[in-house]
């Protein structure tokens, strides 16, 4: 089965809308998708694979889907070790890291644009809160802006 067909099957079977590669191994993961050989894999590093489910389709019992999805992605990205992340259940900082990575599957351009917009809004809100915490509780001021 070709890779595009495999991603489409995963998307259909698990109601997945977006798949991101991020973290230190994202380029190696992307190379594998392009059919390239990789070498020098770091035994302590892993490839972060972020999954976004369709609106209203996040599994009620995520653990039931996790194993099957993990197996699919572990097979696709072998020999890299993977860390599968259901992005909708993570904090906005990790979601922001994911959108800075590589989107390797999108159900539609609209789905990608909507998700990025949502993440950026939350990230902007979080920056205001982080600056307030730094200033009021830690006495650091807005040192991240410098």
Q: In angstroms, how far is the first alpha carbon of the chain from the final one? A: 50
In-domain check, residue 27: yes
Given a cut of 80, whether residue 92 has pLDDT beyond it is: yes
pLDDT in tens, 29-42: 999 999 899 987 78
In-domain check, residue 105: yes
DSSP for the chain reads --HHHHHHHHHHHHTEEEEEEESTTHHHHHHHHTT-------TT--EEEEEEEPTT-S-SSHHHHHHHHHHHHHHHTTTS-EEEEEGGGS-HHHHHHHHTSEEEEES-HHHHHHHHHHHHHHHHHHHHHHHHHHHHTS---SGGG-
> What mean pLDDT comes out for the span 48-62?
82
**Nearest residue to 28 via CA among 97, 80, 73:** 80
Domain count, the chain: 1
In-domain check, residue 96: yes
Pairing of strands 47-53, 82-86: parallel
Given a cut of 80, whether residue 64 has pLDDT beyond it is: no
In-domain check, residue 145: no
CATH code, domain with 79: 3.30.460.10
pLDDT of the residue at 142: 52
In-domain check, residue 144: no
Could you give the angle at which helices 92-99 and 109-136 cross, rounded to 10 degrees? 130
In-domain check, residue 112: yes
In-domain check, residue 56: yes
In-domain check, residue 126: yes
If pLDDT is split at 50, 70 and 90, which confidence band does 146 have? Answer: very low
Domain hosting residue 61, numbered range:
3-138
């Amino acid at each position: 089965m070709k890779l595009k067909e495999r991603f489409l099957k995963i998307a259909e079977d698990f109601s997945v809308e977006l798949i991101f590669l991020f973290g230190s191994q994202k380029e190696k993961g992307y190379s594998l998708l392009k059919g390239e050989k990789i070498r020098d894999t770091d035994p302590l590093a892993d490839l972060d694979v972020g999954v976004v489910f369709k609106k209203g389709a996040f599994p009620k019992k995520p653990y039931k889907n996790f194993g099957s999805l993990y197996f699919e992605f572990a097979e696709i990205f072998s020999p890299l070790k993977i860390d599968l992340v259901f992005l909708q259940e993570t904090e906005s900082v990790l979601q922001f890291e994911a959108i800075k990575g590589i989107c390797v599957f999108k159900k539609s351009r609209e789905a990608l644009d909507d998700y990025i917009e949502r993440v950026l809004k939350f990230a902007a809100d979080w920056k205001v809160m982080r600056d307030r915490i730094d200033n009021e509780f830690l006495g650091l001021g807005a040192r991240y802006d410098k």
